[in-house]
Amino acid sequence: MTHHALVPLAVAEKKVKLMLEGQAYRRSFVEAKGALDVSLHTHSLIHDALAQAISFAGSHLQAKLASSRGHMQGVLPAAMAVFSFLSRKKVLIPILGVTVVAGAVILVRRHQDIH
């Protein structure tokens, strides 16, 4: 084989390699777009916002309990403010329903962990 016969072979190999890299890039781009679509879906956004709100409320309640040494006088004003806000927003009944269901799930899980 001459040197001229090797040059087209090297070019063809580079072309195949570049085509494979392009396919991999396009595949990763489509996968990233799919992941972004899922992340921006309304359900995901609501779930994340609710998780943040629960985390904030839990840490706030924990701080109130720590500062009042567990007495209801320290927690009651915050609980009344939350209750008042939720009742004005007309979401109190759904949230109470979710709270009851979540409490039942926690109790069932604790009961299963004990036995």
Region label for 2, one of left (φ > 0), alpha (ψ between -120 and 50) or beta (otherwise): beta
Q: Is the confidence at residue 6, as pLDDT, over 80?
A: no
Q: Tell whether 9 is covered by a domain.
A: no
Q: Tell whether 74 is covered by a domain.
A: yes
pTM for the full predicted model: 0.33
Q: Tell whether 107 is covered by a domain.
A: yes
Q: Tell whether 28 is covered by a domain.
A: no
Q: Tell whether 33 is covered by a domain.
A: no
Q: Tell whether 21 is covered by a domain.
A: no
Q: Tell whether 37 is covered by a domain.
A: no
Residue 102, domain extent: 42-114
* Residues 26-60: tens digit of each pLDDT: 999 899 888 888 777 777 777 777 778 877 877 77
Q: Is the confidence at residue 104, as pLDDT, over 60?
A: yes
Total domains in the fold of the chain? 1
Select the more confidently predicted residue: 92 or 97: 97
pLDDT value for 20: 93
Burial 86-110 (b: 16+ CB within 10 A, else e): eeeeeeeeeeeeeeeeeeeeeeeee
pLDDT value for 18: 92
The DSSP line for 35-77 is HHHHHTSHHHHHHHHHHHHHHHHHHHHHHHHHHHTT-HHHHHH
Q: Is the confidence at residue 70, as pLDDT, over 80?
A: no
Q: Tell whether 81 is covered by a domain.
A: yes
